[in-house]
Amino acid sequence: MSDQQALLSDLVKAQAEHLHWLESYSRNQPSLLVAGVDILPMFNYELIQYLNHVYLQERLAQK
Amino acid sequence: MILTSFEPHFIPLLRKLKDLELVTLHPQFTKMLTDGDVSAKSIGDFMDGDVQSKAAEDAVRLLTAVAATKFSANGLSPASSTLVGTKLPVYFYPRLMDAAMMVHVLDKAKPKLVLVHNDVEPMPRLVALWAKARGVPCLHVPHAIYLEHDERTPVGTDIHDLITASDIAVAGPFQQEWYAERGADLAHMRQTGLPQFDRLAVSRGERMMACRLFKLSPVRPVVVYTSSWRQDTNLLGCADAVEESYAAFLAAAKTMPDLQYIVKTHPRGRNTDEHAKKAQEAGVQAAVTEQHLDIALNAADMLVNVGTSNVVLEAATIKRLPLVCVGGGAFPNDPEVVKVKAEPVAIAQAIQNGLRNPPPELDKLIGKYLGQIDGQASERVAEWARELHA
């Protein structure tokens, strides 16, 4: 496997972990309710960008 | 009452629903509608002291809870764990008041139907979450078709895989299958076509006129290059493909000075100046613009696109353009679209082949992705919206 393929494979795994973490985190925080509406998932679109970005920087720094 | 997200392509369908009370998520969209003689209010018009007071109390409560929570960062990388462990309250602090306010104001307005152009970005998803919690139908009319790519991550690993809306209007069979794979109920999907593609059914205008508008010679071939931008919701978007593909395209263009070039940048890319600068540095004469997509496509003799994009489908409806995607991976199951690596020689060869050979047969591609292109998608979506609202 080339370096680029290995990086891509790691990125795919990391992204899956980020989304899994975000969505399970959202499901496990019942105290973040507004009038019975769980608002937390709305933030996942932005949060996954932060997590992806941080991971990519970390991964590239290892090269 | 119908609540709608800010999507200008919805205007024709909202015009068909103007006998119902329309409320938008953004005052600028309200203005656009009222300027077009479609009466609308903004959700902010329902705001009052009671809503603000409840939202402020909720924001304080939520922030306190977030600050007091020790987040489990199991499964995350060290850097991501640090972000989660230390920065989440900082991230939430400026956002919680607005989010809480939206929930309370929606409870006050009580729309009977919510119309969104996506259900993943923060505010449309919140509205979809509210609708789900209150049992109100939420019709998602996608602003684009998410396309296949060889390097696409598995289903369930991309934020766009998440579905919150109750109902989805899809363009054609491909998009219906795409959402079904992600758990959408077929009984809550309809192949209506999408409003943004209605314009493709009407006369596209003459190539000669389009060339004149770009100050190009109509007797010399025109190559349109459509660029992109980094979309960090998916790690594939973090690659340098946009820059690398463009550099390779310019190097190819440099070897074919007899051709004419239009570089169309993405309207959200904020990289038009950068594209113009690079063309100039490469010594390639090109009209660089982030607007006038339809005129550029009318002027074109072929399309060269970076990665995968709905613009390839829009260009397909012209039916005379060879379609080339640079970077590989795009449209993996569609032989009508030529795929080339981001290498100058490969791109130059694809351009020469495309201009030399007869145009491909594109009806199958169009039917698969766009469904029926008859200019009636807005009508069909409006009819469905009316049913859901009843």
Residues of chain A in contact with residue B153, where contact means CB-CB under 8 angstroms, are 12, 15-16
Same domain, B362 and B236: yes
Shared-domain flag, residues B38 and B166? yes
- B28 burial level (CB within 10 Å; 0-12, 13-18, 19+): exposed
What is chain A's length?
A: 63
pLDDT 10s digits, B273-327: 999 999 999 999 999 999 999 999 999 999 999 988 999 999 999 989 999 999 8
State whether residue A7 sits within 8 Å of chain B by CB.
no
- Where helices occur in chain A by DSSP H, the ranges are 3-27, 44-61
Average per-residue pLDDT for chain B: 93
pLDDT on residue B156: 83
pLDDT grade, residue A29 (50/70/90)? Answer: low
In this structure, the dihedral spanned by the alpha carbons of residues B214, B217, B223 and B224, taken in order and rounded to 10 degrees, is 10
Number of domains into which chain B is organized: 2
Residue B281 identity = E
Better pLDDT: B130 or B78: B130
- The reply to whether B113 and B212 lie within a common domain is no
**Torsion angle, CA of B292/B297/B300/B304, rounded to 10 degrees?**
100
User: Do residues B273 and B154 share a domain?
Assistant: no
B129-168 per-position pLDDT tens digit = 999 999 999 999 999 999 988 777 788 888 889 999 999 9
**Do B61 and B183 sit in the same domain of this protein?**
yes
Domain limits at B213? 203-370
pLDDT at A63: 65
**Complex ipTM, two decimals?**
0.86
Q: Measured between CA atoms, how close is A24 to chain B, in angstroms? A: 11
**Residue B185 in 3-state DSSP?**
coil
Check: CB of residue B389 under 8 Å from CB of residue B113: yes
Residues B191 and B297 in one domain: no
- Which structure tokens are listed for B154? 């598995």
> Does the CA dihedral B83-B86-B87-B92 come out positive or negative?
positive
Q: Which amino acid is at B387?
A: E
pLDDT range class, residue A16, cuts 50, 70, 90 = confident
Looking at the fold, whether B379 and B233 belong to one and the same domain comes out as: no
**Per-residue model confidence as pLDDT tens digits over B200-253:** 998 777 899 999 999 999 999 999 999 988 766 666 555 667 888 999 999 999
B357 and B379 together in one domain: no
Q: Residue A55: its pLDDT value, please?
A: 85
Contact between chains at A37 and B65 (C-beta distance less than 8 A):
no
Same domain membership, residue B125 and residue B172: yes
Specify the CATH number for the domain of residue B338: 3.40.50.2000
Per CB-CB distance under 8 Å, the chain B contacts of A59 are 77
Q: Which residues contact B231 (CB under 8 A, 6 or more apart)?
A: B237
CA gap B262, B303 in Å, rounded:
10
Q: Both B174 and B228 in a single domain?
A: no
- Shortest distance between the Cα of A43 and any Cα of chain B, in A, equals 6
Residues B18 and B130 in one domain: yes
* Residue B339, CB-side half-sphere exposure with 13 Å CA sphere: 13
Specify whether B172 is located in the same domain as B216.
no
**Alpha carbon of B58: minimum distance to chain A alpha carbons (Å):** 7
d(CA B210, CA B225): 16
